[in-house]
Amino acid sequence: MPDQPSDAAPTVDLWSLRPPAGSSAAVAAEEAPIEEEAPRRSRRSSHEARTDWRLGGRTVFRWREGLLAIALISLGAGVLLGSLVAAVWDSPWAAASSTAIVWIGMLLPIVWAFTRSRPIGLLRVRAVDVLYGVVLGALLRTTQGWIEGLDGTPAEWPGLVQVGASVPLSSVIFDVAGPVVVVPVVEEFFFRAVVLVSLYTVLRRPFGKLTAGLAAALGSTALFVVMHGISGAADVSGVVSLSLLGLVCALLVLLTGRIWGAVLVHVVYNGSYLALAVLATAMT
């Protein structure tokens, strides 16, 4: 019999529906899932790249205009109240109390800022920070002595306040322990952490990293010098030396992203002065 046409549906080979290997359609089909996951990877990698506060992020979200305003108000109140105490209180402890009030005025915004958030990387410690502290601190103290001798007269040796033949307790606390233990930590965390980081965070997006860094370094240094000028270091050599100290510490924080190198520079700078003062006092 001749073959009759059949109504059954023809058999379809599913493998024949796949595009030939090597064709553009096959390549596009194989690469489609990769293209969909690529944006997710890029977003994840960009989020993970924020390894320190200089890149922004949520750890410095609260370190902006509000914190800067609080820091300035607290410092101003501390300086005014300390000056008032030194002027009206006739006591050997008046100067020491005035200094302590100024320290408290700087310490309060530091504590408040770090209880809210901690800029990532700012508190990291590296062994090289010790090298920075020793070398830069000693270099700055040598430069300060050289600046004082530019007028042709040798720099005067520092000394400790003495009552009779002994150094009073207030002088030991505020002229010996204070400059080496308290002052470097409080001042660096105030000027080079709270003030500098807040200024940099505010200015980084609208003006860029370089402009923000320069403005933060100059602004924190200017405030640092003004505060010391109010307390008595108003001569030209003192202003220049304090400006160099402030700029070096600010640039160290901006370039490394860490605060402890600046603290150690300040410790060595003040400690070398104290060592000279102790030596001069012992000799006299």
Rounded mean pLDDT for each run of 10 residues along the chain, 284 residues in total: 50 51 52 50 52 92 96 96 92 85 96 96 96 96 87 61 51 71 95 98 96 97 93 78 96 97 96 78 64
Which residues touch 42 (CB under 8 Å, ≥6 apart)? none
Angle of helix 209-231 versus helix 65-88 axis, rounded to 10:
10
Angle at 250 between CA 70 and CA 53, to 5 degrees: 70
| Closest to 258 measured CA to CA, from 139, 109, 133 | 133
- Rounded-to-integer distance, Cα 56 and Cα 49, Å: 11
Does residue 155 sit in helix, strand or coil?
coil
Give me the pLDDT at residue 49, please: 57
* pTM, 2 dp: 0.78
State residue 51 phi and psi, 5-degree precision.
-95, -5
Provide CB contacts within 8 A for 69, sequence distance 6+.
Answer: none
pLDDT of 174: 63
pLDDT given for residue 199 in this prediction: 97
Residue with the two structure tokens 């089909």: 29
Tell me the torsion sign for CA atoms 162, 168, 172, 173. Answer: negative
- Pairwise CA distance, residues 106 & 71, whole Å: 7
- pLDDT for residue 231: 73
